[in-house]
Amino acid sequence: MPTALITGASAGLGAEFARQLARRRTDLVIVARSADALEEFAAELRSAFGVAVDVLVADLAVESDVERVASRLRDASDPVDLLVNNAGFGLPLQFADNDIDDEVRHLRVHVEASMRLMHAALQTMRGRGGRIINVASVAGFISRSTYSACKSWLIGFSRWANAEYSRDRVTVTALCPGFVHTTFHARMGLATGEEGVPPVLWLNAADVVRTGLRDAARGKAVSIPSLRYKLVVALTAVLPRSLTAGVARRGRV
């Protein structure tokens, strides 16, 4: 059976990736900071789907923890076929008012850790084949503080890597959802109808993951779930940056 490694796997989109992949008979390596939550989730997956689930407790803002995950990805004796870079968190949009250490940690998790894990995965995937899914956001197409900047980097790098490594049978896909019903937004105190976010803009996690897996299988560099967000992204290409940045202040994507 194939093996997938998923970061930020204990909740939200990461957990949904784990469930859908386990349902497809994929063995898993799940990564997150909380040992108790990971072990409980791993037991649930083994019982429900009969797949092998390994647990890797790691804080991806810590270099030594990132290296432990990277070491697992470089293990050619037990190769990983799919890497899902999903770990992440949000911060308030007021960069100057945020603690700079929080901002640096934010950058390390979203950009540095994703880059290091992609580099590690490519060591065993090139030639053999494999897939990498980087969970980005439609925020990456809009100017709005450091979260947008991190996701923009992830989209741009995924586009390049998908073109560069397709010759080695490796696809790289940036999955770019908008507002999704997960604990990510709940932890930030954001729910449907708050901060001017209408119900029509909220997506279901299962649909987002299903679209991401399908588009990765098709070799797409960028996956944008739902027609409504495809339209949003198309508009960002033609509207003035000042206008889209102003609209973006109303919520967190």
**Predicted confidence band at 250 (pLDDT cuts at 50, 70, 90)?**
low
Amino acid (1-letter code) at residue 117: L
Q: Measure the CA–CA gap between 113 and 61, rounded to whole angstroms.
A: 7
Summarize pLDDT for 27-59 with one digit per residue, the tens: 999 999 999 999 999 999 999 999 999 999 999
**39-48: which pairs have CB atoms within 8 A and are 24 or more residues apart?**
41/9, 41/10, 41/15, 45/18, 45/19, 48/22
Summarize pLDDT for 135-172 with one digit per residue, the tens: 999 999 987 789 999 999 999 999 999 999 999 999 99
- For the cut 50, the answer to whether the pLDDT of residue 192 exceeds it is no
Asked which of 81-85, 183-187, 228-232 is least confident by mean pLDDT, the reply is 183-187
147 is catalytic: yes
- For the cut 60, the answer to whether the pLDDT of residue 187 exceeds it is no
Q: What share of the chain is helix, strand, coil (3-state, %, to 5)?
A: 55, 15, 30
Alpha-helical (H) ranges within the chain are 12-23, 35-49, 63-73, 100-107, 113-125, 145-165, 183-187, 205-217, 227-236, 241-248
Summarize pLDDT for 86-125 with one digit per residue, the tens: 999 999 989 999 999 999 999 999 999 999 999 999 999 9
Q: Measure the CA–CA gap between 82 and 73, rounded to whole angstroms.
A: 10
Query: For the chain, what are the domain ranges?
Result: 3-248
CB 107 within 8 A of CB 146: yes
Q: Is the CATH number 3.40.50.720 carried by domain 3-248? A: yes
- For the cut 60, the answer to whether the pLDDT of residue 213 exceeds it is yes
**Catalytic one among 49, 147, 157, 165?**
147
At a CB cut-off of 8 Å and minimum separation 6, what does 41 contact? 9, 10, 15, 18, 30
Q: Measure the CA–CA gap between 68 and 169, rounded to whole angstroms.
A: 25
